[in-house]
Amino acid sequence: MEPYHTDQLDLKNRVVMAPMTRTRADNPELAATPLIAEYYAQRATAGLIITEGTHVSRMARGAIHVPGIYTPRQIEGWRESTNAVHARGGKIFAQIWHEGRLSLPDVLDGHLSMAPSAINPHTQVFSPQGMFKDTVSPHAMTLAEIKQTINDFARAAQNAMEAGFDGVEIHAANGYLFHQFFYEMLQYTHR
C-alpha cells in the first residue's frame, strides 16, 4: 500500500482505523488496561489508529468503562498502549471526548451532566447498574464551566502527548458536547 507523508506525520499506508468505543476500562481508575494495549497493538498494521473516545475529565463521562486521560494513572495506562503500537511500527492518535448531556447522574457521581442548555436529549444511556436508563435534563454550563472544559481539552491533549500518542483528534460529532453547541447555534441563527 502507498504511504502518506506530511510535514508532521509519516504513515506507512493510507489505512486509518476509525474510533470505536470498546468500554474495556473496567477499573476504578478508568485507565487503559493491558487488554486495551493488546487490542490496539493487534491493529498496528493500519497507517493510523484513532482510539476510542477518551474522556477529558470526570464530568465528561457518559458511557461506563470508557478510559480517561485526565489522571496520572490514566496517562500511564495509555502509555502501555502507545508503546505496544509503536513497537509494531504503528501510529496512534487519542480521540478526546466530552459527552455533554448524553450522560446520567449515576455516571457522574450524582451530578447532573453539563450542556449548552438545560435540554433533556430524551434518550437512554447504559448505566453502572447494567441497564439502560432515561436521561434527565442537564444543567446549562456557566461561563466558568465552559472555560474549565476548554482547559480540560487542552490538558487532555498535553496528557496524550505525554502518554506517547502521535496526535489527537477532538470528537465533535454524534450528539456529544461540541455537536450540542453547534446544533444549538444553528437553531438560534435560523430563528
**Catalytic residue positions, numbered:** 176
Yes or no: say if 70 and 158 are a contact pair by the CB < 8 Å rule.
no
Residue 71, classed as helix, strand or coil, is coil
Kindly state the DSSP code that residue 88 receives in the 8-state scheme: T
To the nearest 10°, report the CA torsion of 129, 132, 138, 141. 80
Identity (one letter) of the amino acid at 128?
A: P
| Block residue for cell numbers 451530578 | 111
Instruction: Tell which phi-psi region holds residue 164, choosing left (phi > 0), alpha (psi between -120 and 50) or beta.
Output: left
